[in-house]
Amino acid sequence: MSGALKEVRNRIKSVQSTQQITKAMKMVSAAKLRRAQDAITQMRPYAQKLQEMLGNIVSSSEGDVKMDLAVERPVEQVLIILVTSDRGLCGGYNSNLIKLAKQLIREKYATQHQKGQVRILPIGKKGYEHFTKAGFKLVDQYWDTFQNLSFERVQAAATYAMQAFANKEVDAVEIIYSEFKNAASQRFIAEPFLPVPKVTNQTSKKKSDFIFEPDQATLIAELMPKILNTQLYKAVLDANASEHGARMTAMDKASDNANELLKSLKISYNRARQAAITTELTEIVSGAAALQG
């Protein structure tokens, strides 16, 4: 019985050690989440307004000026920008993003994939590792962006995608990322990046009355890349906040599960200890009775 007691004691110590780690990771993620949440909250209205402006300009300027990044053409080559995290222990965060990427390829770009014409540009180590093992064609220069996250690092990835599209190396670019809602909730999104999507709501049917200064072509050529850089940066900030929220939630649940397991183990330990004491008492009583006999 002492062997069983020792095994339960060791399990209790192991669970307590794990619980200390999960609680510490939850606190670290909570601190990082506050900073990441502030960054995306401040960035989102600006990025959304710029994207709306870009869509309106593309819709209202159709045929008036050449816009290489808004040209729709038959889709042969596809580039998918997949934003995952560098580390795990964040629940189903990365697996859901990878699943969405595969679903997008299967439902929208199956023909291109069969011809080997789908490439993945991973931002984040988990997506890079998964699609490397899966044998996909990768653009592998930007997967470590989160190791030193900055606008310039994200801009480099956006510039690669824009140049590839302008040079007709790819015909469509999509972004897959997680939109941050709150610490316990994210929305996994696949959205078009290039060609620049047009505004499709009712107001877009009426041509917007823009006054361009300087001329329209110069302004669009300057403005469009900057807005697209901002759009990708916003997606990466969303993903960064979503990752920390997912990890904080996962570690909180892990700590709760450890509590439940500790309760169960302590009950098992007490039962085993009581059984051992009962056995020892029985042996003592039996021994005493034998001596008296």
pTM for this entry: 0.84
Choose, from 47, 58, 81, 90, the residue flagged as catalytic: 90
**Is there a catalytic annotation at residue 237?**
no
118-123 and 137-138 strand pairing: parallel
Q: How far is CA 137 from CA 123, 151, 178, in A?
A: 14, 26, 23
Q: Which of 115, 118, 57, 127 is nearest to 87 (CA)?
A: 127
14-62 per-position pLDDT tens digit: 999 999 999 999 999 999 999 999 999 999 999 888 888 777 777 766 5
Ordered per-residue pLDDT tens for the chain, 293 residues: 567 788 888 999 999 999 999 999 999 999 999 999 999 999 999 988 888 877 777 776 655 556 788 888 999 999 999 999 999 999 999 999 999 999 999 999 999 999 999 999 999 999 999 999 999 999 999 999 999 999 999 999 999 999 999 999 999 999 999 999 988 889 999 999 999 877 655 444 455 566 666 767 777 778 889 999 999 999 999 999 999 999 999 999 999 999 999 999 989 888 888 887 888 888 888 777 777 76
Mind listing the domains of the chain with CATH numbers?
A: 21-201+210-251 (3.40.1380.10)
